[in-house]
Amino acid sequence: MTKPFVAVQMRGISKSFGGVKALDNVDFEVFVGEVHALLGGNGAGKSTILKVLNGIHKPETGTIQVGDQYLTESHPKEARDAGVAMNFQEMSLIPTLSVAQNIFLTREAVSKLNLINDKEAVRQAKALFDTLQVDVDPNAMVGDLGAGQKQLTEIAKAISQNAKVLVLDEPSTALAVSDVERLFVFLRKLKEKGTAIIYVSHRMDEIIQIADRATILRDGKHVISAPISKLPIDKMIEHIVGKRSNGLADVTFSKASKGDLLLELQDVCGRYRPQKVDLKVHEGEIVGLAGLLGSGRSSLARIISGITPAQSGKIKIRGKSVNFRRPGDANAAKVALVPESRSTQGIIADHSVQSNVTMASLKQLTRYGFEIKQKSQSIVDAQIKRLSIKTASRDHAVVTLSGGNQQKVVIGKWLATMPDILVLDEPTAGIDIGSKSEIVALIRNLAREGKAIIMISSELSELLTACDRIVVMEGGRIFSDNPREYYNESSNPNDDPGRQLQAAEKHLQTEIQLAVKAQTRLESTNG
């Protein structure tokens, strides 16, 4: 092979935010025609270096070269003119504009009179989605779309720029498996045409599939850049977490004793989803909900926690029928939901750890309308200690914490209400592996205390590590409900835990695919 041509060269980049070094003398190099994975835990500096490359942040030191052009102005337009395109985890979409208008924002097709031609934009957007082989309506308002469709729009926007350097920051978090595969097929085509692709993901299996080389950052420093063939998953994880912690496979699986029946659903239906769900959860039991995006997992969670009332069916808690009309009803019945979107549904970022943790239990913490300071302080301190939340003090704003610790604040907020039933929707989304295994261990501890837990996660390894039972959903229905052991491979009991987990993951993956097939068949017979 001839010497590969360099598409991006960043040298000696340093950047601080309020005294904290986010990047410390980092070198980053991407070749033409390769998929380069950028890896690291939360706060490792991945987002920061990408924003520097994109001209959103101005580095204190260092040089940025794209192709043979030096970027000096630190302006998004300069980076784009040099051929850099990036998706920003839903941050570059305008909810009040249509899909097509968003994709071609600032690059609109114009007619002879220099007026914007939206029909042409719709046509081009359609063509783009056709090449990607995904189904998104170019006329739909972005604000009305679900997370997966938004993500596809975001990716289409980046791709439509025909960039020399395409940056995809966690492009697959909300995508169905089949869409991810189509995206990979497309990325391989782009790569052959000579596009340099920078790919950020927390999903190692994806990285192995698509990347040629990887660069790993940790705590704002460059750790290693190497071909992916020289970085097996355990090596990668080792570099990412440093000496802090091991992967999920090492979370000890201590079986909690199953107690009385706590939550029972009979024939529960939502407006669209879920459909006729029967589910029983006992004290000390963790039930995982697996399935693709749109399978009805989150809708079910919202019904159980009273955010959207059920349309029909029965919900019983300790044998007593309940009728939740609003979240407060569920909280009074000791049900708590740790919601899917941390930033919009979980925390108030600018408020202190204390005010976030006490937000859901203010009734117990006030007398005659005044907050009982000592009581709320001791409750907050107890949660900080119990969850080992890393914060300078309880008075620091939540925005100053890392993603994993922000998530712990949300969990702490709901634990402070002393729930019996805890529903966790994607509790580890977007946080690093170290914090992930910590949160999984925490969830197991909560079950041991006798709480009934329902956990939703798109990371199968996580469900398999945490749960006693795994329910597979598709199309709003429950496809199967099996104990965790069902997914064990009995033939090889002597394998190391990592291998066993991988085997179980494959098994569960297959089960989900079976559910999809069954649902498709069901839909086609129903017309």
Query: By CB under 8 A, is residue 137 in contact with another protein?
Result: yes
In a 3-state reduction of DSSP, which class is residue 367? strand
Cα(198)–Cα(211) distance, rounded to whole angstroms?
Answer: 9
Residue count, binding to another protein (CB under 8 A): 23
User: 149 or 201, CB closer to another protein?
Assistant: 149
Residue 520 identity (one-letter amino acid): T
Kindly write out the interface string for residues 49-68 of this chain, putting x where it contacts another protein by CB under 8 A and - elsewhere: -------x------------
User: 155 or 478, CB closer to another protein?
Assistant: 155
CA distances from 526 to 88, 521, 523 (A): 39, 9, 5
- Conformation bin of residue 420: beta by default, left when phi > 0, alpha when psi is -120 to 50: alpha
Stretch touching another protein by CB under 8 A, among 61-69, 113-121, 384-392, 409-417: 113-121
Determine which residue in the list 106, 252, 312, 491 makes contact with another protein, applying CB under 8 A: 106
Stretch touching another protein by CB under 8 A, among 96-104, 202-210, 308-316, 413-421: 96-104
Determine which residue in the list 6, 32, 97, 261 makes contact with another protein, applying CB under 8 A: 97
Query: By CB under 8 A, is residue 229 in contact with another protein?
Result: no
Q: How far apart are the first and last CA of the chain?
A: 54
User: 24 or 137, CB closer to another protein?
Assistant: 137
- What is the number of H-type helices and E-type strands within the chain? 17, 22
Residue 247 identity (one-letter amino acid): G
CA distances from 14 to 26, 130, 220, 240, 414 (A): 7, 41, 9, 20, 38
Count Cα atoms within 13 angstroms, Cβ side, for 101. 12
Determine which residue in the list 63, 69, 94, 418 makes contact with another protein, applying CB under 8 A: 94
Query: By CB under 8 A, is residue 105 in contact with another protein?
Result: yes
Beta-carbon count within 10 A of 24 CB:
17
Interface positions, 65-84, toward another protein (CB under 8 A): 76-77, 80
- Conformation bin of residue 455: beta by default, left when phi > 0, alpha when psi is -120 to 50: beta
Query: By CB under 8 A, is residue 120 in contact with another protein?
Result: no
Query: By CB under 8 A, is residue 96 in contact with another protein?
Result: yes
Query: By CB under 8 A, is residue 146 in contact with another protein?
Result: no
For 241-307, strand residue ranges (E) read 261-269, 277-282, 286-290
To the nearest whole angstrom, how small is the minimum distance from the Cβ of residue 216 to another protein? 26
User: 139 or 321, CB closer to another protein?
Assistant: 139
User: 84 or 447, CB closer to another protein?
Assistant: 84
Query: By CB under 8 A, is residue 212 in contact with another protein?
Result: no
Chain residues in the site for another protein (CB under 8 A)? 56, 76-77, 80, 88, 91-97, 101, 105-106, 108, 110, 114-116, 135, 137, 139
